Structure 1
Amino acid sequence: MLDPDRHRVERDGQVLDLTAIEFRLLQCFMSQPQRVFSRSQLLDAAWGRDYVGYEQAVNNHILRLRRKLGDSVDAPRHIQTVKGVGYRFEP
């Protein structure tokens, strides 16, 4: 459960300790489940349009977010990689 007003995420009754970037990424994913987001779209959603940096930053934060969601790195259930495109969230 994601509560944007309290900036809080719960999974299986446990509050997840997410950074602001991880929270915004998850909020973006949960706003449109099963939609594929490009790294560029995720950069805009989490860092803002004025961010000047590397798309690799998205990959690093997705990896940490997967771990916090209890996803397997090798076979993630929730945040899936769509090769050559980006990422998709499966609730």
Structure 2
Amino acid sequence: MCSTPTSYVIEQLLKQGRGGVVVNLASMLGLVAVSNNIAYSASKGGVVNMTRAAGTMYAKEGIRVNAVANAPVPAQRPLEPEGTLFVCLSLWRFALVRRCSE
């Protein structure tokens, strides 16, 4: 495996010999292509696929590798006052865990 934080964690888990869990931070933009942010989509796609590969590779050693992919959620109301440049963007915002669990 290449030199990534995930590989160092897996190396330590293998030394300990008790299995474990690795959680990577991905994004929904790693699962779908977005034309205005190609580099970000490509890098997060790499995180998603590295997670899949590592999960498959180390499952027999009792190591689970997962990723959390954040995504925008619709807002109840615009977050910016009308007439500002950000009105169209405020209809979608990133959610906090507290909001998703309600």
TM-score tier after normalising by the smaller chain length: under 0.3
The structure number with the bigger radius of gyration is 2
Structure 1 length as normaliser, TM-score? Answer: 0.28
Q: Which has the higher contact order (CA 8 A, sep 6+)?
A: 1
TM-score, normalised by the number of residues in structure 2: 0.26
Which structure features the higher share of helix residues?
2
